[in-house]
């Protein structure tokens, strides 16, 4: 039989050569620009201010839960149906669809966690020009203008957001192709019927012409002129050697949004770009289209692996959000009336009394589907996070171990290699929780299998890890080797679960196994079957400490257009073009469900995905894909993860060290120091790179890396608490400074530093050879304490910090209490019963607050109220621990070993009072130079009530 490479077409050999060398950067020519994407080019050519859409106010209907209103395109007489809902939590939903489409248009399922509950709308006024509706109170209202159609959302006298204010609403109606027989018959019949109606009906019925406009037959005829102006790419489009047949013709939708008073917008990941989104007037729009992009370029709007169609807009008065629920290829244009103005120019405007209000205009363009947009009206950043979470859910609550350190490479060679790496961590006293296996661990790239020679006894390997309280992740990709001897392939084919090509056969493409089929994860029955394959009696060799990595799930197709699936592939009634961006979401969903089912529903899953969509946060973690061992890639990991956090996906990280190329020892150390303070902490490396386990760069660098990893482990109680809060509230774990300091413009564009929760500020060192960094410490009335030196600094200042190779600039907010575990062991599970140290950082008012959350770390029992959740507070020289979940029950063996209070004065004595009423004196030390008080061995149980009084 021919080998894989002998059977592979030359273009694929070239593609693999590029991948395996790890030397070349992305070939942007493999991916479309807007000009090469027919629908984007077509829509972008529309001129502002020439909207053909008019609202037919006589069709307006208002029920208790929704407003409906027909819109008409005066150019072609095609009617649309507008639906407007006021949702609970200060959200407005706007849907626009064809009134009578030739066939149903795709509406995205499964992303919303439920049908959003509505609240009543009511009329305020109406005239021939429009209608005004109340959004709960007279201060917040919607104005619908008739001609041209426009929708304004106002609060008081302020316009919060306008829709179609620039007249760029576009809705390409489904139609018959003009050169088909069926179209000609339809057009002829329509023409004859319309002539008959005009003769016999128009005189008797003055409304006949209006009725005719809504008649599908009339629409077919009146659209004929438009059809005769067929543009390239409307019914068929070619890119490179690939032709997209477009059987449904042009079907794009577009809508513009204006944001008065706004200069800063964020979100719409995934892009390797700054946190603050740039204007796109002089280049391509931001593209949302899940793609396998090899060693992506930085600071451009090219599409990457994830596509989250959510944008946040922020100024010092308000934060709002736009959630564009569409899973087709989407482009987002951003323009601003302040773009390009220098600070001096803005000052000049102010001095000269310029009345121009800053404004950002955003336009969304999608290839198919409908317009279904949720406008989240804040007003605070945390309100927007809650609003979005109410629609798509919160970040899943991960097992505690998954917040530890992960060691990965493509690929660990065999079981002996795994054992040696595992032992290396023990030898060098570096903790870790997970070791990972990439595609080479399988039997010939057949997922759910093990290489019979290199991994002959996987349970023995897993048992060895389990004995050390460690775990493993193995890759399971969604491309299935076409092989009659492969059980998974035979099952999927026999059940008809593969995606089909346009001719009805099973779609096949090339990926790592060679010829591969792609399961249709949009089918609930396919997902249920896939989940069942993770059962221990199906996935041979698996155990409860084996978890899953879903890679290549954009989906990646090496010989497909733009290295992905043909858009005219078929998922039941829908084309792949309609739902491309949601495919990876479904893969992770099915995998997570499989992990839950295998445990009988008791154990929390851990699944890492590369492709993501809105709602992916419910199923696990995301990483930023195939980065490179370059300083700029280290820097970009911060805004990339911040952007994902703003749109719900808190569990984010980047490959530590860079996937491609080989990092210098300095870069590797700095990357560990940065990764230790990002939510998902995994080192990973390409097959072609030299080994880079943490102890291979000399003892000095090993010590630096060890210290960074140990800092991560001491903070696991705080990380875990932040993920619990994210799960409960939707607030991001890793967040930009403006989220907690929304009225400080100095924070709005910062993306080289970040907050973990609200109480830790991190400014990693990301410059080669750096001898210092300048960190902005926010909050005019705040103080911040260096967590390493305990030195106090005032807020609202740029602070220069000298750095050495051991420096990781981290600050604790004055007014906070952070729990840590200082006894670092070989894995997080080994630290389960260890004691806590409380770091109490006082604000100028000499108060502080924090929380302590404890559960079993891995089951869903927290849903049954089996946890400890306590509020820690310091005021009037009394530190106390109070139960804030009195209906919850859980016990812990952990105790409070030490309390460090920063920013205090020396007491004469310290008294401890426990829940049973007993009082005792606590030993302490006081460092006057640092105003630091250390209480030693107070010894109370971490789950009990107690007070400590400074006298």
pLDDT number for residue 232: 83
Confidence of residue 214 (pLDDT cuts 50, 70, 90): very low
User: 620: closest CA among 641, 648, 640, 643?
Assistant: 648
Residue 840, helix vs strand vs coil: strand
Looking at the predicted structure, is the pLDDT value of residue 211 above 70?
A: no
pLDDT number for residue 938: 96
User: 4: closest CA among 559, 515, 688, 551?
Assistant: 515
Confidence of residue 191 (pLDDT cuts 50, 70, 90): very low
pLDDT in tens, 33-58: 999 999 999 999 999 999 999 999 99
Looking at the predicted structure, is the pLDDT value of residue 436 above 50?
A: yes
Distance from CA of residue 722 to its chain's centroid? 17
Give me the architecture of the 400-473+527-551+575-738 domain, per CATH: Alpha-Beta Barrel (3.20)
Alpha-carbon distance of 808 to 813, in angstroms, equals 16
Alpha-carbon distance of 105 to 745, in angstroms, equals 43
Q: What is the DSSP string of 678-705?
A: SSSEEE---TTSPP--TTTT-HHHHHHH
Alpha-carbon distance of 258 to 255, in angstroms, equals 10
Looking at the predicted structure, is the pLDDT value of residue 10 above 80?
A: no
Question: Any idea which residue has 């080989």 for tokens?
Answer: 662
Looking at the predicted structure, is the pLDDT value of residue 896 above 60?
A: yes
HSE-CB at 751 with a 13 A cutoff on CA atoms is 24
Alpha-carbon distance of 558 to 581, in angstroms, equals 17
Looking at the predicted structure, is the pLDDT value of residue 384 above 80?
A: yes
Which of 196-210, 348-362, 721-735, 796-810 shows the lowest mean pLDDT across its residues? 196-210
Contacts with 728 (C-beta within 8 Å, 6 or more apart), sequence order: 394
Which of 98-107, 117-126, 191-200 shows the lowest mean pLDDT across its residues? 191-200
pLDDT number for residue 356: 78
907 token code pair: 């007491």
pLDDT number for residue 320: 98
Average pLDDT over residues 350-374: 86
Does the bond joining 745 to the residue before it have cis omega, within 30 degrees of 0?
no
Question: Are 904 and 814 in contact, with CB atoms under 8 Å apart?
Answer: no
Looking at the predicted structure, is the pLDDT value of residue 200 above 80?
A: no
Between 2.60.40.1760, 3.30.70.3420, 2.60.40.420, 3.40.930.10, what CATH number should domain 247-379 receive?
A: 2.60.40.1760
Which region, left, alpha or beta, applies to residue 755 given φ > 0 means left and ψ of -120 to 50 means alpha? beta
**C-alpha distances in angstroms, 139 versus 153, 154, 912?**
10, 8, 52
pLDDT number for residue 390: 98
Alpha-carbon distance of 197 to 339, in angstroms, equals 54
Question: Are 368 and 328 in contact, with CB atoms under 8 Å apart?
Answer: yes
pLDDT number for residue 21: 42
Query: In the annotation, is 551 catalytic?
Result: yes
The dihedrals phi and psi of 353, each to the nearest 5 degrees, come to 75, 35
User: 286: closest CA among 303, 265, 272?
Assistant: 303
* Fold matches, 247-379 and 835-950: yes
pLDDT number for residue 340: 59
Ordered alpha helix ranges (H), 215-280? 216-222, 224-227
pLDDT number for residue 55: 98
Looking at the predicted structure, is the pLDDT value of residue 905 above 90?
A: yes
Alpha-carbon distance of 588 to 46, in angstroms, equals 38
Residue % of the chain over a pLDDT of 70: 90
Q: What is the DSSP string of 113-131?
A: SSPPPEE--EEEEEETTEE
Question: Are 251 and 172 in contact, with CB atoms under 8 Å apart?
Answer: yes
Q: How many Cβ atoms from other residues are within 10 Å of residue 625's Cβ?
A: 24
Looking at the predicted structure, is the pLDDT value of residue 222 above 80?
A: no
Question: Are 478 and 556 in contact, with CB atoms under 8 Å apart?
Answer: no
**CA 368, 370, 371, 372 torsion: positive or negative?**
negative
pLDDT number for residue 348: 43
150 token code pair: 């426009």
Question: Are 33 and 285 in contact, with CB atoms under 8 Å apart?
Answer: no
Catalytic residue among 551, 578, 655, 759: 551
Q: Which residue has the higher pLDDT, 395 or 346?
A: 395
pLDDT number for residue 180: 55
Average pLDDT over residues 600-609: 98
Alpha-carbon distance of 815 to 31, in angstroms, equals 50
Average pLDDT, the chain: 92
pLDDT in tens, 492-515: 999 999 999 999 999 999 999 999
Question: Are 642 and 736 in contact, with CB atoms under 8 Å apart?
Answer: yes
* CATH number given to 835-950: 2.60.40.1180
Looking at the predicted structure, is the pLDDT value of residue 245 above 50?
A: yes
Ordered alpha helix ranges (H), 697-744? 699-714, 716-729, 737-740
Residue 660, helix vs strand vs coil: strand
HSE-CB at 219 with a 13 A cutoff on CA atoms is 20
Looking at the predicted structure, is the pLDDT value of residue 13 above 50?
A: no
Does the bond joining 899 to the residue before it have cis omega, within 30 degrees of 0?
no
Question: Structural domain boundaries of the chain?
Answer: 53-171, 247-379, 400-473+527-551+575-738, 835-950
Catalytic residue among 626, 751, 759, 855: 626
Question: Are 753 and 760 in contact, with CB atoms under 8 Å apart?
Answer: no
pLDDT number for residue 25: 73
Looking at the predicted structure, is the pLDDT value of residue 353 above 70?
A: no
Confidence of residue 229 (pLDDT cuts 50, 70, 90): low
User: What's the chain's Rg over C-alpha atoms?
Assistant: 30
pLDDT number for residue 185: 42
pLDDT in tens, 464-473: 999 999 999 9
Average pLDDT over residues 55-77: 96
Looking at the predicted structure, is the pLDDT value of residue 236 above 90?
A: yes
pLDDT in tens, 145-168: 999 999 999 999 999 999 999 999
């Amino acid at each position: 039989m021919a080998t894989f490479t002998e059977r592979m077409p030359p273009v694929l050999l070239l593609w693999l050569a590029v991948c395996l060398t790890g030397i070349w950067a992305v070939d942007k020519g493999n991916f479309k620009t807007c000009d090469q994407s027919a629908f984007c080019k077509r829509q972008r050519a529309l001129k502002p201010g020439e909207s053909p859409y008019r609202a037919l106010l006589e069709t307006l209907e208002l029920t208790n839960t929704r407003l409906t209103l027909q819109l008409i395109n005066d150019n072609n007489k095609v009617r649309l149906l507008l639906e407007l809902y006021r949702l609970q939590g200060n959200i407005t939903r706007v849907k626009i669809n064809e009134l009578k489409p030739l066939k149903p248009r795709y509406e995205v399922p499964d992303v919303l966690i439920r049908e959003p509950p509505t609240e009543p709308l009511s009329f305020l006024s109406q005239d021939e020009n429009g209608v005004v509706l109340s959004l709960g109170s007279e201060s917040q209202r919607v104005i619908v203008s008739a001609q041209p159609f426009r929708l304004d959302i106002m609060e008081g006298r302020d316009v919060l957001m306008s829709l179609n204010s620039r007249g760029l609403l576009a809705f390409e109606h489904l139609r018959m192709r003009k050169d088909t027989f069926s179209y000609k018959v339809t057009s002829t019949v329509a023409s004859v019927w319309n002539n008959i109606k005009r003769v016999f009906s128009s005189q008797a019925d003055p409304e006949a012409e209006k009725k005719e406009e809504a008649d599908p037959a009339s629409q077919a005829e009146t659209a004929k002129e438009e059809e005769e102006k067929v543009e390239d790419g409307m019914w068929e489009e070619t890119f490179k050697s690939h032709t997209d047949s477009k059987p449904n013709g042009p079907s794009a939708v577009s809508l513009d949004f204006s944001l008065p008073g706004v200069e800063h917008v964020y979100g719409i990941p995934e892009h390797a770009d700054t946190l603050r989104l740039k204007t796109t007037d002089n280049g391509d729009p931001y593209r949302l289209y899940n793609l396998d992009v090899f060693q992506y370029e930085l600071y451009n709007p090219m599409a990457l692996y994830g596509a989250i169609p959510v944008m946040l807009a922020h100024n010092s008065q308000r934060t709002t959000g736009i959630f564009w629920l569409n899973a087709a290829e989407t482009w987002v244009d951003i323009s601003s009336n302040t773009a390009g103005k220098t600070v001096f120019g803005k000052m000049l405007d102010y001095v000269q009394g310029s009345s121009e209000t800053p404004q950002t205009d955003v336009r969304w363009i999608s290839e198919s589907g409908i317009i279904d947009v949720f406008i989240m009206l804040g007003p605070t950043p945390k309100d927007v996070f809650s609003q979005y979470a109410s629609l798509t859910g919160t970040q899943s609550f991960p097992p505690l171990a998954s917040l530890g350190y992960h060691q990965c490479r493509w690929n660990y060679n065999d079981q002996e290699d795994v054992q040696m790496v595992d032992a290396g961590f023990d030898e060098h006293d570096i903790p870790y929780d997970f070791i990972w296996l990439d595609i080479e661990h399988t039997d010939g790239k057949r997922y759910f299998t093990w290489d019979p020679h290199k991994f002959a006894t996987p349970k023995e390997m897993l048992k060895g890890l389990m004995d050390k309280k460690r775990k493993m992740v193995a890759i399971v990709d969604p491309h299935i080797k076409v092989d009659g001897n492969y059980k998974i392939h035979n099952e999927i084919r026999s059940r008809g679960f593969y995606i089909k090509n346009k001719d009805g056969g099973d779609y096949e493409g090339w990926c790592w196994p060679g010829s591969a089929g792609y399961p249709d994860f949009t089918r609930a029955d396919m997902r249920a079957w896939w989940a069942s394959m993770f059962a221990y009696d199906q996935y041979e060799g698996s155990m409860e400490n084996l978890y899953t990595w879903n890679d290549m799930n954009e989906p990646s197709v090496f010989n497909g257009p733009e290295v992905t699936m043909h858009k005219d592939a078929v998922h039941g009634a829908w084309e792949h073009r309609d739902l491309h961006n949601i495919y990876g979401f479904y893969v992770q969903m099915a995998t997570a469900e499989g992990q839950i089912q295998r445990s009988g529903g008791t154990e929390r899953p851990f699944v890492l995905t590369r492709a993501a969509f809105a709602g992916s946060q419910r199923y696990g973690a995301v990483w930023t894909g195939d980065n490179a061992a370059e300083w700029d890639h280290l820097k970009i990991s911060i805004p990339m993860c911040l952007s994902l956090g703003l749109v719900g996906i808190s569990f984010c990280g980047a490959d530590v060290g860079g996937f491609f190329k080989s990092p210098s020892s300095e870069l590797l150390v700095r990357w560990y120091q940065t990764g230790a303070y990002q939510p998902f902490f995994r080192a990973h490396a390409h097959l072609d790179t030299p080994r880079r386990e943490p102890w291979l760069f000399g003892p000095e660098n090993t010590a630096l890396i060890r210290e960074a990893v140990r800092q991560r482990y001491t903070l696991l109680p705080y990380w875990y608490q932040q993920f619990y809060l994210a799960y409960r509230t939707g607030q991001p774990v890793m967040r930009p400074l403006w989220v907690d300091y929304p009225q400080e413009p100095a924070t709005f564009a910062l993306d080289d530093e970040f907050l973990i929760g609200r109480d830790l500020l991190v400014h990693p060192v990301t410059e080669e050879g750096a001898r210092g960094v300048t960190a902005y410490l926010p909050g005019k009335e705040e103080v911040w304490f260096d967590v390493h030196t305990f030195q106090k600094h005032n807020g609202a200042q740029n602070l220069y910090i000298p750095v050495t190779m051991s420096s990781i600039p981290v600050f604790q907010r004055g007014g906070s209490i952070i729990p840590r575990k200082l006894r670092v062991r070989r894995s997080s599970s080994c630290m389960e019963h260890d004691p806590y140290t409380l770091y109490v950082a006082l604000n100028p008012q000499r108060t502080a607050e924090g929380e302590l959350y404890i559960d079993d770390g891995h089951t869903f029992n927290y849903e049954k109220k089996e946890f400890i959740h306590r509020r820690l507070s310091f005021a009037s020289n009394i530190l106390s621990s109070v139960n804030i979940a009195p209906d919850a029950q859980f016990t812990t063996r952990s105790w409070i070993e030490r309390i460090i209070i920063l920013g205090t004065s020396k007491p004469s004595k310290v008294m401890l009072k426990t829940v049973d009423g007993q009082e005792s004196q606590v030993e302490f030390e006081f460092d006057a130079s640092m105003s630091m008080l250390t209480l030693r061995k107070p010894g109370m149980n971490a789950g009990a009530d107690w007070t400590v009084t400074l006298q």
